[in-house]
Chain A
Amino acid sequence: MSRPSTHASNTASGSLWMYIVGFVISIALTVGALWLVLARQFSTGTLLTVILLLAILQIGVQMFFFMHITDSPRPQFNLWILGLGMFFTFVVIAGSVWIMSFGAQGY
Chain B
Amino acid sequence: MTIAHGEFPVHGRSINHDAPLEYSLEEGALRIFGFWLFLATDLVLFACLFATYVVLHGAAAGGPTEAQLFDVPGFTAETLILLTSSFTGGLGTYAMHNGSRRGLITWMIITVLLGLSFIGLEVKEFVTYATHGAPLQRSAFLSAFFTLVGTHGCHVSLGILWMLSIIYQLARRGITPITARKVFIVGLYWHFLDIVWVFIFTVVYLNGVMS
Kindly state the interface size class of chain A when it binds its partner: 35 or more
* A78 B33 Cβ-Cβ under 8 A: yes
A86's closest neighbor in chain B, by CB?
A: B43
Contact between chains at A48 and B210 (CB < 8 Å): yes
Contact A96/B55 with A37-B209, A47-B210 known, Cβ cut-off 8 Å: yes
Interface SS of chain A: helix
Q: Is the interface of B mostly helix, strand, loop or mixed?
A: helix
Q: Are A66 and B191 in contact (CB under 8 A)?
A: yes
Q: Are B98 and A30 in contact (CB under 8 A)?
A: no
Tell me the residues in window 90-136 of chain B with beta carbons closer than 8 Å to chain A beta carbons: 90-91, 93-94, 96-99
Chain A 12-41 interface mask (CB, 8 Å, partner B; 1/0): 011010010011001100100110011010
**Given A19-B94, A66-B90, A89-B43, are A55 and B202 neighbors across the interface (CB < 8 Å)?**
yes
- Interface members, chain B 1-42 (any A CB < 8 Å): 7-8, 15, 17, 19-21, 23-24, 29, 32-33, 36-37, 39-41
Which of B15, B33, B44, B79 sits near A89, CB closer than 8 Å? B44
Q: How far is the CB of B25 from chain A (nearest CB, A)?
A: 9
Within 8 A of B (CB), among A54-103: 54-55, 58-59, 62-63, 65-68, 71-73, 77-78, 81-82, 84-86, 88-89, 92-93, 95-97, 100
Decide if A88 touches B44 in the complex (CB within 8 Å). Answer: yes
Q: Please name all residues of chain B whose beta carbon is closer than 8 Å to the beta carbon of A30 when the two chains form the complex.
A: 79-80, 83, 198, 201
Q: Does B141 contact A (CB under 8 A)?
A: no
Contact check, B40 vs A85: say whether CB atoms are below 8 A apart: yes
**Complex contact A66–B187 (CB within 8 A):** yes
Residue contact A26 to B191, C-beta cutoff 8 Å: no
B78 vs chain A, min Cβ distance (A): 11
**A66 to B17 Cα, complex, angstroms:** 22
Q: Quick check: A66 and B177 within 8 Å, CB to CB?
A: no
**A40 contacts which chain B residues (CB < 8 A)?**
210
The residues of B with any CB-CB pair to A shorter than 8 Å are 7-8, 15, 17, 19-21, 23-24, 29, 32-33, 36-37, 39-41, 43-44, 46-48, 50-52, 54-55, 72, 76, 79-80, 83-84, 86-87, 89-91, 93-94, 96-99, 175, 177, 187-188, 191-192, 194-195, 198-199, 201-203, 206-207, 209-211
Interface residues of chain A, those whose CB is within 8 Å of chain B, are 2-8, 11, 13-14, 16, 19, 22-23, 26-27, 30, 33-34, 37-38, 40, 44, 47-48, 51-52, 54-55, 58-59, 62-63, 65-68, 71-73, 77-78, 81-82, 84-86, 88-89, 92-93, 95-97, 100, 104
